[in-house]
Every structure is written in C-alpha cells, then in structure tokens.
A and B are shown apart, each in its own frame.
Chain A
C-alpha cells in the first residue's frame, strides 16, 4: 500500500497537476502550431519536388535525389543540432522553434517526395500518352491526370510517415523549444515530481492517438478500394 501511495504521489499528483496545468497547456499549443507548420511545408515541398522530378531534367533530378536520400538517412536530432549550433557561428541566428521547423520540414519533404514519386511512377505511362494526345499540355496532364491518382496511392504511406516525423517535435525540447515535453521537463525540475511528465505524455497521446486511428481507417479503406 505504501508503495502504491508513493507511486500515485509521484506520477498522479493532483496538486502538482493543478499547479502546472497552464504551463503544460502552453506547450500543447506550441506543439500543435509547430506540427501544422511542419506538415504543411513538408508535404507541399515534397509534392513540389516530385513534380519537378517528372520534368526529367538531369541537372534538377540529381540534386533532388541527393537531398531526399540525405534527409532520409540522417537522424533528425543530428540535423537539428547542426543547424542550431552551427549556423550562429557563421552569423545566422535562428530561433529554436524555426530550427525545429526547418529540420523536420526538410525531413518530411524528403520522405514525402519519395512517396509521391512512387505514386507518380506507378500511374501507367499510357495515361501520359493519352492525355497529351488529347491536346493537354504537360502541366495539365500532371496536375489534372497524374497527380490526383498518385496522391490517392500516396495517402496511406504518407499519413504514417507524417505521424512518425511529427512525433519528433519532442526533440525540440533538446534545443529549448517550449513544446509539451520541454514545458513538462521544466515543470518536473521545478516541482521535483514526475506528474508533469505524466501530463505531457498524456497530451502527446491525446494528440497522436486520433491520428494513428485515422491512419488505420485510411489503410483499411484503401484496401477495400483494392486498386
């Protein structure tokens, strides 16, 4: 019983929860805002890069493939640290939130380019020929015929990737972004109690569990569609 009480006191302390609730809630808004920024810029840039790749220009494709491969291979924390500690020494000082945004946005752009590109290449080449022969321009073909089909194929893997990359927002706490984990961590050291961490973890699950469930439903739906 003694151990149980101690456990509750340490991880589920109502007093502490009440006191630090506003601080951690602030972190929630930062996490959500940063998450939206990362998702919108990352997916947009990824689609843009995949579209550029369809032009088939060598001088363009090589840098794109290089960018994609490098950001798929590098650990996000390594990217974050290089940008955060390296750039100030060459005269570029960015707020930590911007560093987090750029780093994760680039990682998501790389992964989503790969997914969109896979979608584009799996549309049968006959579709290109048919559209072009009806007099559509290259751009019209890409945007009205190819991309809509590619995006449909890309949605399930893209959702999974987006979720797992967005979870890296917690890495922001390592460079002082006041997102959920960062706020929870400082509340932890102020209160000498683990309850703020429980709250932070709870908030993360609250944000991501619906997304995970949605991705499951998407997967099932596209399976039934049986492309």
Chain B
C-alpha cells in the first residue's frame, strides 16, 4: 500500500513538478482554444458542402468525411509531422497537429451537424421561405439553431473527445499537459506527475461528462 502511495500519490513529487505541469496545462488550454473553434468551423463548412444541392459537391465531401473518420488521428499526425519533412519541407509540430486535428474534427463535427440538419423537418424551410426569408436567413435563424439543439449532446461529447485528443500532441513533442507530465515522470522516476495530469483532465472533463449523461437521458 505504501509502495502504491509512494509511486502514484507522492505529493512531494507533485509539488516539485507543479511548475512544469502548469506550463503544460497552459499549453493544452491554448491548443484547445485554437483547435475547438477551427474544428467546429470546419465542421459547419463540411456540413454545408455535404448537404448542398449539387451532387458534385455532396459526394466528394461525404467520401472525405468517411475517409477521415476511418483514419486514426495519431496516424494523421505522424503522417504530416514525420512524412512531409522527407520532401524537404520543415513542418513545425504545432502546424502538423493543427492540420491533422482540423481534418479529423471537421469530419466528425460535419457528420454531427449533418445529422442535426436532417432532424429538422422540411416544412420549417418551406414555412420560413414562404414568409419571404432568404435561404441564408432561413438557415441562420430557423434550421441551424434547431439542428444544434437537437444534436447538442453529440456536439458536447465530440468537444470532449477533441480535448482528450490534444494529448496526442505529446507524441510529436508538443509540450502540452500529458507531455510535461511524462517528462516529469522520467525526471523523477515516479508516476505521480502522470496521476496529477490525469487528475487535471478529470477535474475539467468530468463535469462535462455528467452534463452529457443528463442531456442524453432527458432527450430520450
């Protein structure tokens, strides 16, 4: 038991590595602040293409969605980060993961938004258009808000997935929370920094997980 506490819940070690962990936490927060908005924006764009009236736009988009959904994000990151330099181009790790996450998140968010748009009855569009609203106004004020409401749990849970996904940046040495914790682990020969990082993820994400559970059960 003492051994377990020594190895996993060593508060002295945790206190010692706290500055490193904090720096990692800030980096993770920054990553999320950039990646979540571009992912959602990409998702809305993807949804617009995937629901467009032109077959030439719709089919390639749906194909791309399925392609990037079947591509493990880590493979995408490594591909961009380790593959492109062989062409003689230097890719900063941050740019590599931004591109990889953008493609991945656009596909997932796009699919969620698409399901949401499909759940809004057609009559809503017809009614809105017949009151004289333009197609853009109909989308912005009538269909899109309802679509978002209908898929809110999925949107939230995908956002959590995206936050969890930022840990993959550690594989390409971006000094985010998990990377700093792992570095601290190798410096102290003790797993407490990893537990500390896991605790931080838990602290931030657990409330969201609870909210999603609530929302899902209410909608059913």
Interface residues of A (CB under 8 A from B): 6-7, 10-11, 69-70, 72-79, 81-82, 85-86, 89-91, 114, 118, 121-122, 163-164, 167-171, 173-174, 181, 185, 188, 192-194, 197-198, 200-201, 204-205, 207-209, 211-213, 216
Contact = CB atoms under 8 A, between A and B. Distances in A.
Interface of B: 3-4, 7-8, 66-67, 69-76, 78-79, 82-84, 86-88, 160-161, 163-168, 170-171, 178, 181-182, 185, 189-191, 194-195, 197-198, 201-202, 205-206, 208-210, 213, 216-217, 220
B84 to A, nearest CB: 8
Given A169-B72, A170-B75, A10 B201 contact: no
23 contacts: A7-B87, A69-B209, A70-B202, A73-B160, A74-B205, A75-B166, A77-B168, A77-B170, A82-B8, A82-B194, A86-B194, A89-B190, A118-B217, A118-B220, A163-B70, A167-B73, A181-B72, A194-B82, A197-B78, A197-B83, A198-B79, A201-B79, A209-B70
Contact of A197 (B79, B160, B206): B79
Task: Report which residue of A89, A169, A193 has the largest number of chain B beta carbons within 10 angstroms of its beta carbon.
Answer: A89
B67 A121 contact: no
B209 A209 contact: no
Contact of A90 (B4, B66, B170, B185): B4
B216 A86 contact: no
Given A73-B206, A75-B201, A10 B190 contact: no
B70 A211 contact: yes
B82 A167 contact: no
A205 B167 contact: no
A81 B183 CA distance: 11
Contacts of B75: 170, 181, 197, 200-201, 204
Contact of A85 (B72, B163, B185): B185
A164 B178 CA distance: 21
Contact of B194 (A81, A167, A169, A205): A81
Contact of A81 (B86, B161, B178): B178
A181 B78 contact: yes
Contacts of B185: 81, 85
A153 to B, nearest CB: 9
Contacts, number: 145
Contacts of B86: 10, 192-194
A204 B71 contact: yes
A75 B167 contact: yes
Main secondary structure of the interface of B (DSSP, over half): helix
A79 B78 CA distance: 21
Given A73-B201, A118-B216, A205-B67, 11 more contacts: A10-B86, A78-B178, A85-B191, A85-B194, A90-B4, A168-B74, A170-B72, A173-B74, A185-B78, A185-B82, A198-B79
Nearest to A173: B74
Nearest to B76: A201
A209 B66 contact: yes
A205 B70 contact: yes
Contacts of A185: 78, 82
Contacts of A188: 82-83
B201 to A, nearest CB: 6
Given A89-B190, A89-B191, A164 B161 contact: yes
Contacts of B163: 75
Most buried by A among B66, B75, B161, B208: B75
Contacts of A194: 79, 82-84, 86
A212 B74 contact: no
Given A69-B209, A168-B72, A89 B7 contact: yes
A185 B216 CA distance: 40
A185 B171 CA distance: 12
Contacts of B197: 78
